Amino acid sequence: MLKAKTRWRVSEAPEDEVNTLCEATGVRSVIGRLLWQRGVRTKEAAEAFLHMEMMPWHDPLQMDGMTKAVERIRQAVSSQEPIAVYGDYDADGVTSTAVMLSVLRTLGAEVEYYIPDRFAEGYGPNLEAFRMLHDAGHSLIITVDNGISAKETIETIEAEGADVIVTDHHEPPPELPAAYAVLNPKKPGCPYPFKELAGVGVALKVAEALLERRPDEYFDLAALGTISDLVPLHEENRFLTKKGLEHLSRPGRFGVDALKEVCSIKGNVVTSENVAFGFGPRLNAAGRLASAAPAVELLLAEDAESARTLAKEIDSLNRERQALVQTMTEEAEAEVEALGDPSEHGAIVVAKEGWNPGVIGIVASRLVEKYYRPVIVLAIDHEKDEAKGSARSIDGFDMFQELSKNREILLHFGGHPMAAGLTMAPTDVEELRRRLHTQALESLSEDEFQPVIDIDLSVNLEEVGLHVIEEVEALAPFGMGNPKPLFYFNNVKVSTLKQIGSEKNHLKVHFTSDGRELEGVGFQLGELYYQVDQEAPVNVVGELGINEWNGFRKPQLFVKDMQVKDWQLFDYRNTKDIHALLDHLDPKETVPVLFDRQNFHLIQDEVWKERTELVQQQEDISALPKKAQLVFIDIPPSLEELKELLSTYEQELTRLYVIFRHEDARYFHTQPQREHFKWYYAFLKQQETFDVRAHAEALAQKKGWSKQTITFMTQVFFELGFVTMNHGKVTIASSPEAKDLTASATYQTEQNRYEVEAKLLYSPRASLRAFFDACIHGENEMKETLTHGL
């Protein structure tokens, strides 16, 4: 058995409605079902989703305040009035700044930009910076990707003579700043039809209004910010992202070309994944660790050489950010483990002095991924007597609302259900930890502490072909609001399984069903090599893609999760390194079993040696810990003893690892049958005495037996009283009592050993599996029986 790491939620689509949609649009059933799952359920909606020329694009003047803002900007341009663009330090803020600067410079404006320092100034407008800009002659300040919550700062600078135009996309507070103009599609009463633009999307709309045409030349920048800011990729966002990715795929902007180089993006197609995992993190890294200015300058670079220099600079910062995140994550995990069993935590709150506030949000997300608990990570600054933190949540736990219940111990906080930022006194961290732990346990069920993945479709391997995957790609760009489809495959066989990567941390697998095969890759799933039997029927969830190699293309599944419902048998009968297996098993869930005390030397690791159970009598079986995984290190003295042991595990056992280390195998020795004993007894009757020591070798050669066979039968006859022995000389007993061969302890031990070896060491894997199934579930197993006795 292998439990899925996530809860699988399979969406269902009504067959009749899907068929109607397919007939109306001409798409295949798989694509029709995916469209329906995304809420695209009419011909018109499907055409608007699939065809760029049909996608919505709205008049920017519909946005409340746009006309007034455009008139004021044109007035400033006309009179050469200095303009300041006040940006933000994340990828959305950087691209918003670049778009606004570009259009203003195109119009001939005298313009500069300012991005606050994350560490010294924090997010959004601050009065000191605004006054500095105003004192420098900038009578018009345009915010991009920020400003909607800066009521006091904006109104103060407005009173001092500056005009402020706010362009933002964040949730508006109850009271808006009394700026010259406020552009935000989410603003109450704003008639603009699409509310989910990123900050760069709002800046793009300002550019469109100023130019009085669609500003295609900035769509690449808009796509970078939109994808990186995780806004829903539908309606206008889908259009500008799809159009922007086309622009990003072509050479042109020096900064983008330089970014492609450092991201090692080759070919002529840039995808949303390239942006999300390549461009975006690098643009973010500058503002996380230092100044965001190099990122802005990169996007505005006017020659290839300066672009390459800037791209290398932010790439270096990104590598530094990655190393910092790795170190802090390891430290945070150590803090979590020090607090006790993570599975017992309702919520996780960790804090430490010296942690970089610029990356604590990433660290919090990493902890959520590992532990799936609401998480708060705080960087303590004792000089300021404050702990500044980032919170990340899980489904069902509204972080903003739960933090609101603790206002009296928080200096500042803000956010939404899934993420928040906060500042508090270091002395209150322990109290917040205690409260959130209780709040989480009270509001979340046990199931809700396991992550959920939404599966789009259940499909068969025969439905997976290159043509289908290519059509699925027509649903791109993928991202928030339009995730890459997840496919569910039920009861497919694993034909091959191996670890790949320099650290063996990835998995390569082949799935088969009804003669069809699908290659799969599981990144960071290398440990499943020890948790999935190579012949097990599995359920698997993943994303479909195309593997291209040397001009050959074939379907590929990017595995996200796997499940095995039945117990599993792992055949390690030929392994020489026991600890290579044990090192990958969970000691809390595993019981290694030895049947022979002399084999303890096989367990060299002291931790595992302490956990190993020795089974030599009935009481040992009864005392065995009932854990999910058993590892048989050596072979039992009899099959009956093994059956008795396994019969106590019917409900608990999920995996059985068999090593069955042994010495001096009997299986390939001649096993005497009734006829052998009969002949040897008759032979002895013909002899007055028989010197086993002197003549056993010659007799064995004559009969084609082994010397051990002669010795064995002699010992059996002696134990049954059929013969007497004196210094190796055998004599037939006079009038012996008739007895069954099984009355001999030696005979019974040897027969047990032979049966053990035949079944456990040398039977095919399928036969071994059938034997264990019968043991665990109490089923009858067909077996050969030997006729005993003379």
619 compared with 9, residue with greater pLDDT = 9
Q: 614, 592 in Cβ contact below 8 A?
A: no
Q: Which domain-ending residue is among 610, 636, 661?
A: 661
Q: 307, 341 in Cβ contact below 8 A?
A: no
Confidence of residue 134 (pLDDT cuts 50, 70, 90): very high
Mark whether 188 and 103 lie in a shared domain. yes
In a domain, 631, yes or no: yes
Q: Which domain-ending residue is among 509, 541, 566?
A: 566
In a domain, 182, yes or no: yes
pLDDT 10s digits, 590-644: 999 999 998 898 888 888 888 889 998 778 888 888 888 999 999 999 999 999 8
Both tokens assigned to 522: 């599981």
pLDDT 10s digits, 53-87: 999 999 999 999 999 999 999 999 999 999 999 99
Q: How many separate domains does the chain show? A: 4
Mark whether 158 and 249 lie in a shared domain. yes
Mark whether 119 and 72 lie in a shared domain. yes
The secondary element (H helix, E strand) that includes residue 362 is helix 360-371
d(Cα 326, Cα 775) in Å, to the nearest integer? Answer: 47
Task: Output the domain CATH number for residue 503.
Answer: 2.40.50.460
Burial of 354 (0-12, 13-18, 19+ CB in 10 A): exposed
Give the list of residues 6+ apart from residue 478 with CB closer than 8 angstroms, or none.
233, 272, 273, 484
Phi and psi based region of residue 26 (left: phi greater than 0; alpha: psi -120 to 50; beta: remaining): left
Mark whether 310 and 181 lie in a shared domain. yes
**pLDDT value at residue 303:** 96
Mark whether 179 and 304 lie in a shared domain. yes
In a domain, 697, yes or no: no
Q: Is the peptide bond before 477 cis (omega within 30 degrees of 0)?
A: yes
In a domain, 780, yes or no: no
Sign of CA dihedral 313, 315, 316, 322: positive
Which amino acid is it at 267? G
Burial of 195 (0-12, 13-18, 19+ CB in 10 A): middle
Mark whether 283 and 162 lie in a shared domain. yes
Residue 714 CA: distances (Å) to CA of 389, 693, 746 = 82, 11, 10
Q: What is the pTM of this model?
A: 0.82
Mark whether 362 and 311 lie in a shared domain. no
In a domain, 751, yes or no: no
pLDDT 10s digits, 402-414: 999 999 999 988 7
Residue span of the structural domain in which 351 resides: 339-438
pLDDT 10s digits, 431-488: 999 999 999 999 999 999 999 999 999 999 998 989 989 999 989 999 998 999 999 9
Mark whether 585 and 489 lie in a shared domain. no
- The residues pairing with 83 across neighbouring beta strands, listed in sequence order, are 111, 140
In a domain, 703, yes or no: no
In a domain, 350, yes or no: yes
- The residues pairing with 549 across neighbouring beta strands, listed in sequence order, are 552
Mark whether 514 and 546 lie in a shared domain. yes
Residue 553, helix vs strand vs coil: strand
The secondary element (H helix, E strand) that includes residue 328 is helix 304-338
Q: Which domain-ending residue is among 316, 350, 372?
A: 316
In a domain, 266, yes or no: yes
d(Cα 195, Cα 205) in Å, to the nearest integer? Answer: 13
Task: Return the residue matching tokens 């302490």.
Answer: 610
DSSP for 626-682?
Answer: --SEEEEEE--S-HHHHHHHHHTTTTT--EEEEEEE-SS--TTS----HHHHHHHHH
Mark whether 161 and 276 lie in a shared domain. yes
